[in-house]
Amino acid sequence: MKRRRRWRPVLALGAGISLLLSALVATGTPASAAVQCQVDYAKNDWGSGFTANITIHNLGDAVNGWTLRYSYAGNQRLQNGWNGTWSQSGQNVTVSNAAWNGNLPTGATATTSANFSYSGTNSDPTNFSINNVACNGANAAPTVTITSPTAGQHFPVGSNVTVNANASDDGNVARVEFFRNGMLAGTDTSAPYSFTHTSLPSGNYTLQARAVDDLGAAATAEVAIVVDAGPTLVVSPAAVSVPEGGNQSFSVSLSAQPTANVSVSTSRTAGDADISVSAGGTRTFTTSNWNTPQTVTLAAAQDADQSSGQATITVSATGYPSVVVTVTEEDDDAPEASSYIEEFTAQYNKLKAPGNGYFSPEGIPYHSVETLLVEAPDHGHETTSEAFSFWLWLEAQHGRISGDWAPFNQAWTTMETFIIPSSAGQPGGQSTYNPNDPADYAPEFNQPSQYPSPLDANIAAGQDPLAGELQQTYGNRLMYQMHWLLDVDDVYGYGTGRTGAECGDNTQRVTYINTYQRGPQESVWETVPHPSCETGRFGQSGSGYPPIFVQGSGANQWRYTSAPDADARAVQAAYWALRWATEQGNQSQISATVTKAAKLGDFLRYAMYDKYFKNPGCASPTCTPGSGKSSSNYLLSWYAAWGGDINNAWSWRIGSSHNHGGYQNPVAAWALSPSGPAALRPQSPSAATDWQQSLTRQVQFYKWLQSAEGAIAGGATNSWDGAYAARPAGAPQFFGMSYDVDPVYHDPPSNQWFGFQAWGMERLAELFFLVPSQTMAKTVLDKWVNWAISQTTLGSGSSFQIPNEMDWSGAPAASFNNNTGTPADNPGLHVTVRTRTTDVGVAAAFARTLTYYAAATPDTALGQQARETAKGLLDRLLLLKESRGITTPETRTDYNRFDDVWSSSNQQGLYIPPGFSGRMPNGDQINSNSTFISIRSFLRDDPDWPKVQSYLDGGSAPSFTYHRFWAQSDIAMALADYGSLFPDD
């Protein structure tokens, strides 16, 4: 039976060997022809044992049944194996195919794995045979060695380290790939092979060179080096404004006393040529004056243009990491810049400053600077597609202010590298995906304790109408969406120690993981973090983590899940980047990135579809499945997901049946529709029309969900209880989907957070600003803005209060099913603000909503009130500035759930099914006695843990000051929006 899952996958690399076998024939049959095949052997070694992962590639004639034989040279002893029948006699190992993986057509692969124990040396085997036909010594694996640097070599912080490698092969070496801590950093296709890792921060590094020949065989060499923490250049300030025709200075000194004179050089390395170093281009520091600041003077030449240029000034010295100073020319012909624009630049520079900790060494934005943080991600140094989308938007605003579009392009490239799965990360490219049978049905349940869920292949799913069109447009079946969650620092360890690629992943650090899997009641405190690429290395031996979630499931599968609001936000950011770059005449600089954004929008349409492609109004798992586009609701649902078997025996795709008001993005829909710019139009024939319909449907959804007071209620679902259950009698419906006050999750309720209000209405306000003829949008905004301002208090100094948690009663007045009509008002649907907050990120999003509404309605009393309230919020936020951003402390009473034990009486705590027993990569046990902290014991080593432990021991609830990337970015963008739309303030 095909197994399909609604989950998400992982990436990784390590050292491995590839061998070409001379023959692969049916069991017991002598070789009648030399049939070429390839075997990849890789191991994950933890010192006293290891996992051997062996992949057979059939490069010749079809094979029906195989037996693999090889031997070890040491005392390796078989413990258990899977995806084949394993046995061992002395040092000789035999593996026969399983019932389902014995048939290998030309080009097919079979993967089999086993755990072994050992002591002493653990050398890789080399004497493989298939079906009693020995390898004839035609070893196609290339050889590769690293000639420099040497093992254990030390370098000063900020060094450029060049790796030189020698590689050879019986055939041809196609390329040598260079990795840093498992992350692909560069490729060289011709000898001599080398790559330079630039400006390395302090830390321990494993540098790898992987040679790949023209048949795909590969070998890896690696060397460990140390970049020592060392002295640095002290430069202040990091951002300087220079008046046109004038001068401005900054200071340079050293952080520690040198042993000899240090010469510090300063020069312009990029940007406006009118900005130059006029004095102090070289400064010398001695053992006595090293900590005395010396001045570097910058000049901005007088010119005739009316724009304020920007340049990058680099301060450098041998043995020290370079420091970049951002310099802005204050053009005397241009209108005076708004102080809010200057504050945007200051906040942007804080976010981008390496010492502030917002980005990983790979350049990935963390969810937060702090590591001990539990909310949607369960660790601060994970990251989400949400963070990437805010980063793109931040860089678009930077381009708007500075005219510098390189960071925007780089942000998309980083996003594409790390969080949009590559072709190698989607094994088989979903070539086995059947759009007429997209996925096997597994019901959702209201409690985690009702899992694992049973699969039912007899429930018919509807037709996927997008797969064929997308394949025809882009030439393959690969998906182009962001997966929602990355373990950037590999704190869980799903990447650490890999010696062979799994699911095409080439990193040992940045890994795809997932958490939520078990219905609406599963809060973050009740999740089990697991790898998106499941090979059974961890979790329960041989089957990994899937048995916690789905009955009868096991290892050797991959799965990704997108968060449609993040993908849509990325498209929204690309639209504004295109608009602002075009106004500057710089649109050609971002044209390639905009094309990629259009592609992302093309695939984002999967979020419009019911989970199993069922028609609207489905009230039974056996309801009529959809055909064509009948199962599209044209809204942005909670997720879309795709995956398959690692060996490409099966693959699947699903949408989601649940739709939340806070996830809609009418700006993205408008930009991708025929009304938007042609450069952002998706290439698929029906995509623009789909987005035109989605634009209307989303605005109607807001209106249908608007309470009598003005706030937007929860959403609607096409699958009641997640299992297409019978609908509640009399529940109002939106195009066949039933009203749901808390769609998707209940702990906490999904629509109690005011942040969803601010995010959703900000997008609607942008749409109204762009398209004043959107009268329905204006109607919704007029009511919402009036309500939100009435619930806001602006106090003295930095004090303010905005809504936080809300309660709901009633329902929409009537069902609605009119493609061109306007939903009625809802006098019986009500909201009450239960608590208020000083959350800086939500306050910024709220200010942006008010700013765009005010810019669209400048001559109305409510528009003026919105402008004054937006300014009032921003002015108070600016009084909360500190060295890394704008923050307020927050008390975390929910941190009492770290050690909750599952209880059947209140359905709280971490539930693990009886009979499941396994381990996390660090050895933490997973069983029915586990808690949130027991399977994350590494958190006890976090510097902030003592505050939590004191709370668990009966002390007061701990207080934290968090620097969330999305929140700090939204603050910066609120300043840019207000300063740009109201420059006279």
Rounded-to-integer distance, Cα 302 and Cα 237, Å: 24
Give pLDDT, residue 7: 32
Among residues 722, 735, 903, the alpha carbon closest in space to that of 815 is found at 735
pLDDT over 70 at 345, yes or no: yes
pLDDT over 60 at 700, yes or no: yes
252: which 2 tokens? 């340079």
CA-to-CA separations, 325 to 4, 310, 311, 362, in angstroms, rounded = 52, 11, 8, 21
| Host H or E run for residue 759 | helix 754-770
Q: Note whether 420 and 482 are within 8 A (CB).
A: yes
Identify the weakest region by mean pLDDT among 52-56, 143-147, 475-479, 777-781: 52-56
pLDDT band at 11 (very low <50, low <70, confident <90, very high): very low
Residues of the chain above pLDDT 70, percent = 91
pLDDT band at 35 (very low <50, low <70, confident <90, very high): very low
Give pLDDT, residue 34: 37
- Provide the residue count of the chain: 985
For 128-155, what is the mean pLDDT?
73
Taking each helix axis from N to C end, the angle separating 965-981 and 385-402, rounded to the nearest 10 degrees, works out to 30
pLDDT band at 41 (very low <50, low <70, confident <90, very high): confident
Instruction: Name the residue with higher pLDDT: 219 or 647.
Output: 647
For 99-110, what is the mean pLDDT?
71
Give pLDDT, residue 213: 80
Give pLDDT, residue 272: 81
Identify the weakest region by mean pLDDT among 106-115, 266-275, 546-555: 106-115
pLDDT over 60 at 67, yes or no: yes
Rounded-to-integer distance, Cα 596 and Cα 387, Å: 18
pLDDT band at 805 (very low <50, low <70, confident <90, very high): very high
pLDDT band at 216 (very low <50, low <70, confident <90, very high): low
Among residues 285, 898, 396, the alpha carbon closest in space to that of 667 is found at 396
pLDDT band at 97 (very low <50, low <70, confident <90, very high): confident
Exposure of 424 in the CB half-sphere (CA atoms within 13 A): 13
Instruction: Name the residue with higher pLDDT: 612 or 136.
Output: 612
Look at the block and give the residue holding tokens 């999967």.
Answer: 606
pLDDT band at 861 (very low <50, low <70, confident <90, very high): very high
For 855-868, what is the mean pLDDT?
96
225: which 2 tokens? 């080096």
pLDDT over 90 at 32, yes or no: no
Rounded-to-integer distance, Cα 166 and Cα 194, Å: 9
203 SS3 class: strand
Give me the residues paired with residue 368 across strands: 964
Give pLDDT, residue 239: 74
SS3 string, 454-517, reads CCECCCCCCCCCCHHHHHHHHCCCCCCCCCCEEECCCCCCCCCCCCCCCCCCCCCCCEEEECCC
pLDDT band at 258 (very low <50, low <70, confident <90, very high): very high
Identify the weakest region by mean pLDDT among 227-236, 573-582, 754-763: 227-236
**Where in the sequence numbering do the catalytic residues fall?**
386, 565
Identify the weakest region by mean pLDDT among 197-201, 424-428, 731-735: 197-201
Q: Tens digits of per-residue pLDDT, 162-175?
A: 999 999 987 789 89
Q: Tens digits of per-residue pLDDT, 497-524?
A: 554 456 765 556 899 999 999 999 999 9
Give pLDDT, residue 15: 28
Give pLDDT, residue 354: 86
Query: Which value, to the nearest 10 degrees, does the dihedral of the CA atoms of residues 830, 836, 838, 840 take?
Result: -20
Q: Tens digits of per-residue pLDDT, 305-340?
A: 555 677 888 999 998 888 878 788 876 655 556 899
92 SS3 class: strand
Give pLDDT, residue 850: 98
- Average pLDDT in the chain: 89
Q: Note whether 604 and 424 are within 8 A (CB).
A: no
For 626-654, what is the mean pLDDT?
96
CA-to-CA separations, 653 to 146, 531, 609, in angstroms, rounded = 43, 19, 11
Sheet hosting strand 557-562, strand order edge to edge:
533-534, 557-562, 640-645, 651-654
Rounded-to-integer distance, Cα 924 and Cα 384, Å: 25
Question: In this structure, what are the phi and psi dihedrals at residue 350, rounded to the nearest 5 degrees?
Answer: -65, -40
Among residues 778, 631, 782, the alpha carbon closest in space to that of 719 is found at 631
Give pLDDT, residue 102: 83
Give pLDDT, residue 138: 39
Q: Tens digits of per-residue pLDDT, 593-624?
A: 999 999 999 999 999 999 999 999 999 999 99
